[in-house]
Amino acid sequence: MSSGFPSVLTERSAVGSDQDHNAAVRDSGSLVLSPNGKGQPEIAVTDLEPCGGPTSSSLVEMQDGIGIVKFLRGKCFFISGSTGFLAKVLIEKILRTMPDVGKIYLLIKAKDKEAAITRLKNELIQVLMKGTASFRSYHDNFLRYDVAIDVNKRGTCHLVRFAKKCQKLKLFLQVSTAYVNGQRQGRIMEKPLCFGDCIARENSIISGNTALDIENEVKLALNSKEDFQENEVAQKRKDLGLERAKRYGWQDTYVFTKAMGEMVVDNTRGDIPVVVIRPGVIESTWKEPFPGWMEGNRMMDPIVLCYGKGQLTGFLSDPNGVLDVVPADMVVNATLAAIAWHGMERKSDINVYLIASSVVNPLVFQDLATLLYEHYNSSPYMDSNGRPIHVPSMQLFSSMEDFSVHLWRDVIQQSRLAEKASSDRKLSQKHENICRKSLEQAKYLVNIYEPYTFHGGRFDNSNTQKLMERMSENEKGEFGFDAGSIDRRDYITNVHIPGLRRHVMKGRGMCG
């Protein structure tokens, strides 16, 4: 649902040759490191003073509150997962509001330096300058188990080891996800995960003293290839991850391995100060750098688009259930505020912040369905012939049996309409095939989202509220992250869906 990035703050030292680069980063000052999941960033920041002495900030100097701008002045950031959407929002925010920060080191996966520079130009610089977006499907929960383990658990281990080598480390910040709490129910507090935690045991699904053995899971994930035929390795490893996640009480491979990452950080950090940011479902920006900016199909967007195209008229969901949605720019603002507050404190403890809305401003599924209908009723999607697609009100079903009946009824009705509209047998057959593909797509989406559309947990954000209370009024204006202040109707109908259609669909299906 969301993801994370490590950040580290350190004081700057001169950077020499390429061979000295890693040592320079380690020694450079205050480094904020936050381990990262798939497609997420990590950051390093260093204390620097610009040549010629201090420069004036583009923002009004804040004499009270946390002192975010003052603290981050001259700092150097080390950011992993820097080509991911959330990292881009973060980097843009830093460059726009704090131009006198130190260096920003970006960790980019590539086969060589030239390929890394190409990715930097194409996936970061052009995007930040033009506001364009590349398309990525957001189905993290079907990751291969070995890949997810490698990124979210083993990658995090490497980052912690790197952080421990930073001589003037101030903070290690990990962006995780609210859903590392798995199938916990009721009000969920901002508490760290402990090594070996097992949600299934908490919920009495597994009896006894069963603990999660992370190293055993690593071996299982990486050695499982021997048990599978070559042509079935990828799918079997996806299935294995989902099976292991559900066994221990998590919804899917992604959140399961993100939870492992959190446990590893707490277990190996030593006296490093750690902040864990747990966002809900990260969606398009609310205000900055402009409303509705996003990349790829995020969590709820395949459902939004399929409904608008007339391919999905209902869904399997608790009508009174809640989807915890937060705009990306709010997550970034909370991250910067937490970096500044705890970077100044330098206490060797671990602090968790849920950047979430399910308690303070819940988005109820029935209300979301109504908002989707209102949007597409006033701004319909256009078919390939330029004709508006009129959609009915979205129906929500509490049982798979009822939903399946609805889907088949839909397919039969559309097939009959196609037969009446065309005497061409080939066209009718083509339409029937399209209907059946829509049916399969609907079942596929249900398989992905059912653990979340019936999720009974509500994320308490008391720590996040206290962090906001420490901010000055100026800071709240520049770095606000109050999820309770979002007008859901305005955000969904006037910001998010238009942004989705503009930046992900590239304007396809829009009037004019």
Q: Which of 112-116, 356-360, 448-452 has the lowest mean pLDDT?
A: 448-452
Q: Is the pLDDT of residue 290 over 80?
A: yes
pLDDT score for 442? 78
Q: What is the mean pLDDT of residues 482-495?
A: 96
Least confident of 3-7, 64-68, 434-438: 3-7
CA 33 – CA 331 distance, rounded (Å): 16
Question: Which residue among 105, 179, 254, 491 is the active-site one?
Answer: 254
Cα-trace Rg, the chain? 24
Rounded distance between C-alpha atoms, residue 330 and residue 77, angstroms? 19
Considering 88, 103, 170, 258, which one is annotated as catalytic? 258
pLDDT band at residue 59, thresholds of 50, 70 and 90? very low
pLDDT of residue 141: 45
pLDDT class for 446, splitting at 50, 70, 90?
confident
CB atoms within 10 A of CB 235: 12
**pLDDT exceeds 50 at position 49:** no
pLDDT > 90 in the chain, percent: 56
Instruction: Identify the band that residue 132 occupies on the pLDDT scale cut at 50, 70 and 90.
Output: low
The helix/strand/coil state of 22 is helix
pLDDT value at 384 more than 60 = yes
Q: Residue written as tokens 């002045």? A: 73
d(CA 344, CA 340): 6
Distance of CA 362 to the CA centre of its chain: 18
Cα 371 from chain centroid?
Answer: 23
CA 215, CA 264: separation in Å to the nearest integer? 10
- Name the range with the highest mean pLDDT among 62-66, 223-227, 293-297, 440-444: 293-297
**Of 224 and 304, the one with more pLDDT:** 304
- Per the annotation, the verdict on 373 as an active-site residue is no
Strands (DSSP E) along 12-127, which ranges? 30-33, 43-47, 77-80, 104-107
Beta bridge partners of 322: 364
Q: Let me know if 134 is exposed, middle or buried by CB neighbors in 10 A (0-12, 13-18, 19+).
A: middle
Express each pLDDT in 216-267 by its tens digit: 999 999 887 666 666 778 888 999 999 999 999 999 999 999 999 999 999 9
Q: Which of 32-46, 192-206, 312-326 has the lowest mean pLDDT?
A: 32-46
Active site residue 254: yes
Is the pLDDT assigned to residue 438 strictly greater than 90? no
Residue 263 CA: distances (Å) to CA of 116, 225, 352? 31, 26, 13
**Residue indicated by tokens 């760290």:** 192
The helix/strand/coil state of 366 is helix
CB 90 within 8 A of CB 41: yes
pLDDT of residue 207: 63
Q: What Cα–Cα distance (Å) separates residue 507 from each residue in 283, 286, 381? A: 18, 19, 10
pLDDT of 439 > 80? The answer is no
pLDDT confidence band for 39 (50 / 70 / 90): very low
